[in-house]
Amino acid sequence: MKTTNNTILITGGATGIGLALAETFLRARNTVVICGRREDRLAEAKAKFPALHTYTCDVSQATERERLVTWLTENFPGLNVLVNNAGIQQMLSFADQPVALDRIEQELATNVTAPIHLTSLLLPLLTKQAESAVLNVSSGLAFTPLAAVPVYCATKAALHSFTLSLRYQLRHTSVKVFEVVPPIVNTELGGTGRDERGQQDRGIPPSDVAQETLAGLQADTPEILVGMAQNLYNQREKLFPMINH
């Protein structure tokens, strides 16, 4: 996959892994569009990297996804790379009391429905390009879940499964399908959850994920397993002894 002269959309691109990817792709001479629901964070990203194009969008909402695609089609008809990066992570305990449906639906909408629907909406544009790609950012927790964040882990497992099927269905098109699998990354994902769990390991810097992603694209590696995510992937057959770690 070429890594220069692309036009790239990154969801959740104003912070964390998304912003690191944006910076890395910009340095590789690509046109980069980021979207996110917080205008202040988008403005901060734009101030830091003036070459970025920004669009305010809550990808968990279907109407906003549709408006985003209309805007992209009109303003960036050469779009050839979609990075489904936006995600949320919540600590949820099903043992204590019923979990509110709106909390479950929020995580499902952002982490599963949004990337699947956005991919579907953008495929007509992507398939018009000579070379294009979909990158789904999942997690090592798709393979070895962490019991404290059960819905998050389930959504990433679902995204992994969808990516496998999508790759097969698009094998005869110009669209290559990649999965980026990070380990623990030092971002704001999960809010104060790591502190509440007493988690000492803050994870690798987002820039490491971005650099591994770029290298994986250059090598046409379908599953880009970053750092310790390789171990989680390898440990998936030993799930139950590790589930409470």
pLDDT tens digits, 58-106: 999 999 999 999 999 999 999 999 999 999 999 999 998 899 999 999 9
Domains and CATH numbers, the chain: 7-242 (3.40.50.720)
Do 34 and 45 meet the contact criterion of CB atoms below 8 Å apart? yes
* pTM for this model (two decimals): 0.91
Half-sphere exposure of 166 (CA within 13 A, CB side): 24
Tokens linked to 68: 């985003």
Dist. CA 23–CA 13, nearest whole Å: 10
pLDDT at 96: 84
Active site amino acids: 152
pLDDT tens digits, 9-68: 999 999 999 999 999 999 999 999 999 999 999 999 999 999 999 999 999 999 999 999
β-pair partners for 84? 136
Tokens linked to 11: 């969801």
pLDDT higher at 197 or 107 = 107
Tokens linked to 114: 């949004």
pLDDT at 245: 36
